[in-house]
Amino acid sequence: MKPATRNYFKRQSRLCAWTLLALTLSHSRFDAAERRLAGREIFRQECAKCHGRNGEGVKGKYDGPLQGERALEKLTRYIERNMPDDNPGKCVGENAKAVARYIYETFTPVKLGCAATSRRVSSWCA
């Protein structure tokens, strides 16, 4: 095989490898975005009626804002066993995990001073 042909195949194989790597990485980012979307949608359909659309609580149902006092794994298990309140056990497995992650990432105040992980909860630190 001629050196020019060898170099051509070498370049093509590198290009294929980089393309596969880029596709793999972009696919995992889309999966993460879908999980966040699923968590948000499940929260809005099943949880917002008691916890409010923005986790602020609903008077007469769950008055206080969501504060994330549990570790993510414990929050997931709690959701699986107890939520929604009118149909415990309805939200389980990957759905419970997605909702827990959404709650944890969206509504949980940081326990240091008055900083918050989201602008939505910064007003709770008074």
Residue 16 has which token pair? Answer: 């294929």
Per-residue pLDDT of the chain (126 residues; tens, 9 = 90+): 555 666 776 777 777 666 666 666 555 555 555 555 699 999 999 999 999 998 888 888 888 888 767 889 999 999 999 999 899 989 999 999 999 999 888 886 653 234 444 444 444 444
What CATH architecture applies to the domain 35-122?
Orthogonal Bundle (1.10)
The Cβ-side half-sphere exposure at 37, using a 13 Å CA radius, reads 6
Going from N- to C-terminal start, the domains of the chain cover 35-122
* CB neighbour list of residue 56: distance below 8 Å, 6 or more residues apart: 65
Q: Give the global pTM.
A: 0.60
Residue 109 has which token pair? Answer: 């105040």
Residue 31 Cα distances to 16, 36, 81, 102, 115, angstroms: 22, 9, 26, 14, 29
